[in-house]
Amino acid sequence: MAKILSVFSQKGGVGKTTLAVNISAGLSLMLSNENKEKPRRVLLVDLDEQAHSAITLASGFFGKLENLDRGPDENIAGLLLQSTQSPTTAIIRESRIPIYAKGNLDYLPSSREKMATVSALLRESQELGLVRLSQILKPISHLYEYIVIDNPPGLSYLALNGLIAASHVLLVTQLETPSLESLNNGIRTVATVQKKYNKALNFTGIVPNMCDFRITEQSKLLGLLDARFPDKLLPNIHRRAEITYAISSGLDIFSFRPARNKEEIESASLAVQEFASLLKELRRRMQD
């Protein structure tokens, strides 16, 4: 059964989607290097109405989107609303990245047109609406080693679905006061979900993202985080231009700055090295 990682933040603008894309790509690349003949697979589920993670995996922001637009219900919205007759496996698509993997990264696309209304419609179903994603993922989880859920920002029925369906949750924050306040809210939400809906949910860790330690306050805030959550803090990711350039080019960071030795994932890029460190620690925690 897959390990299902929910990438979660109740605040927007913390780089959650970029993180989810690069985590998914890095995991698929690692699995490709471990078994070149038949690598285990990774699935990225795009629950965000902006559909940015699916767009990146499909074609990039300046590519052709025919692969993404297969019909109004052939996406995660159609599955959640039960408005499609297609099985989940027919809606899942293969990503074109990472370039040096073995085609073992798939994705469930979002819908810009429909996702804005999905949360409200799920709410009408009350308790049943909270477990809809779990019902979608459970029959296919044996096909994947990892499933990564890119949640929408905020606390909605969609985001709750993303937590209830998961085996592990990763909280994302920036080292800024509003983001840290949101992090505290997110931790409380995770605790509530663990108590009421998903006792098996593992709080895997916190990623300080888009860090800039030239700002003195950020170093102080990281120290406070480390003191308060010493066992939860994961390797941080700096704000780096090449991460932005990679996504703008429709690529993950491992494809944008690849290693010379294709047997490895780490290159000379500091951004790649940071993501590689994060992934190694994430995998270790998810295996424990």
What is the rounded end-to-end Cα distance, in angstroms, of the chain?
Answer: 15
d(CA 8, CA 90): 27
Write down the pTM of the prediction: 0.95
pLDDT tens, position by position, 236-275: 999 999 999 999 899 999 999 999 887 789 999 999 999 9
Whole-number pLDDT of residue 70: 65
pLDDT tens, position by position, 105-147: 999 999 888 888 898 899 898 888 999 999 999 999 999 999 9
Print burial letters for 164-175: b (CB count within 10 Å at least 16), e (below 16): bbbbbbbbbbbb
Strands 146-150 and 168-173: unpaired
Distances (CA, A) of 239 to 62, 110, 203, 269: 23, 26, 24, 13
Domain borders along the chain are 3-287
Please list the residues that pair with 8 across neighbouring strands. Answer: 171
CATH fold group of domain 3-287? Rossmann fold (3.40.50)
pLDDT tens, position by position, 10-32: 999 999 999 999 999 999 999 99
